[in-house]
Amino acid sequence: MIEPVRTVGEIAWRGGRFVAGQRTIPEETAVAFTYNGSSYAVMMATPHDLEDFAVGFSLTEGIIASPDEIERLEIVEQDIGIELRLWLAEPHATAFQERRRYLAGPTGCGLCGIETLTEAMRTPARIRDTVRFRPDEIMRALHSLNGLQEINGQTRAVHGAAFYQPGQGIIVLREDVGRHNALDKLAGALARSSCSARGGVGLVTSRLSVEMVQKAASIGLPMLVAISAPTALAVRIAEAAGITLVAVARSDGFEIFTHPARIEEDRSLHVVA
């Protein structure tokens, strides 16, 4: 299998002179998804945790509702990329054929197999999880990301998506050059381990676009925390989906954009009107 990182030679301009050296960088490869022999999407991704990617992508794209609907998965490495061959059980195989699409997506593509504006702008089922968190719990979850991102620790060039459970800490973390891919891998890892997202927090090291919120809703995450800002559409969809959206989360605090009732007010949280 292709290694997720590679060390290459480089020439740096430092201190007014050229210096020869080496740098560890993330690998990126074309990953093709096929279902029952039919092509669906080609994503540029990190060749790591591909079983999770296959399951998670299938879940967040609505192709399956459960990993049990996958009869077989093969990971086939080719000269120009990797093919994830999935075989769906009936009646899911027939249902997939009815929505068969061909799409080639760049790194970070988040809308695959979409044909209409209605599909692209879908509002997920509302999450009604009544769990509550303290601000210090959110900060603790963010701080715990440091040191856990193995690939990013080597390259400083990949996104991470993690699931934090109060009392347990971060129990799942996945990385990828694409932020959507990292979240899909997280979805697959949770589903394959039969771990419910109820009562937990999703953490992403990226900005929050609408498809990130839609994927979080399909996972069932009541709260999504990001280190960068959300788009306006992401805020509207999170509001409609019942997701607490926390963004611009840094070492000195964070900003709440939707459903703040899930975050308990205490002395460490001050809301400015």
- Residues serving a catalytic function are 109
**In terms of Cα–Cα distance, which of 220, 221, 240, 206 is closest to 121?**
240
- Which pair of structure tokens corresponds to residue 7? 């060390």
Q: What are the E-state strand segments in the chain?
A: 5-14, 17-26, 29-35, 38-45, 70-78, 81-88, 159-165, 169-176, 201-204, 223-226, 244-250, 253-256
Cα 129 from chain centroid (whole Å): 20
* Sequence-ordered list of residues with C-beta below 8 angstroms from that of 163, at least 6 positions apart, any chain: 170, 171, 172, 173, 186, 190, 195, 197, 200, 201, 202, 203, 221
